[in-house]
Amino acid sequence: MANNSMAPPVLLSVAGFDPSCGAGIAADLKTFAVLDCYGVAAITALTVQSTQGVKAVEPVSPAVLRAQLDTLAEDLEIAAVKIGMLANRDNAAVVAEFLDRTALARVVLDPVAKPSSGGPELLDAEGLKFLREELIKRAAVITPNIEEAELLTGIEVRDLAGMKSAAQKLVEMGARAAIVKGGHMEKPIDVLFDGSEIVTFGGDQIKSGHTHGTGCTFSSAIAAQLAGGRPLAEATTLAKAYVTKAIEHGFAIGKGPGPVNPFYRFRQDPAGRTVRTDLHTMHPAVEPTLR
């Protein structure tokens, strides 16, 4: 019998493991699956965390990380890579070497440095320096939040003008494009600079405590859209719409901020059948505009 199914794009997540499965590898794999991609993963660190925050971080050895990456690359055709938590310089260097060997073009770098809820650093000082000076040059797009943008660029970001300056600086530092996320601002505007023009993406502040994994979900959604052949501005628009709805439908679980709901597009009807809505429905608050 002929197999009429087409294999989905294979996306690689390089990140840490969150036992509560709201962020990191788990969030990436859920997002990839919802967006019609097949996710694989190389774990950079094990964390001790829950919805209440990160308590401890245990990096994997560089040799183990390298073996994970090489084993996957030998077996699979990888369409895009999302890089999240790296833990330390040694692991960041392993990832840079891997990207050089494989020459993968669609690389989304989410420069995770500190947990939003406080706790131990997710990238040490030498790792941050390496990311700033070397790894950023391998990224098709880097997606820092405001605090991460300040750490990387040294630019104080307090308003839209600061976000634009930081995005431009990140491209000057070597990224092909940068998206500075303004989710914690009064008006959650994101700024994209692709080296030639600035695009802003509007949004409404969502009154929800279910925000665990927001950054991971956003960056992995961008990777999925890029793997589908969409240009960066469109990929960003779709990813922002997706994560906005995922926050709106987040879960009230645990004693801390609950996770976003990457599966909000799925529901069970009374007969128990899975119903799926349009994968690319826009959120009305998302309005990309040129500078």
Active site residues: 181, 211, 213-216
The set of residues, in sequence order, having a beta carbon less than 8 Å from that of 43 and lying 6+ positions away, is 15, 16, 17, 25, 60, 65, 68
68 Cβ contact partners less than 8 Å away, ≥ 6 residues apart: 42, 43
SS3 sequence of 144-205? CEHHHHHHHHCCCCCCHHHHHHHHHHHHHCCCCCEEEECCCCCCCCEEEECCCCEEEECCCC
What is the spatial distance between Cα 66 and Cα 13, in angstroms, rounded to a whole number? Answer: 14
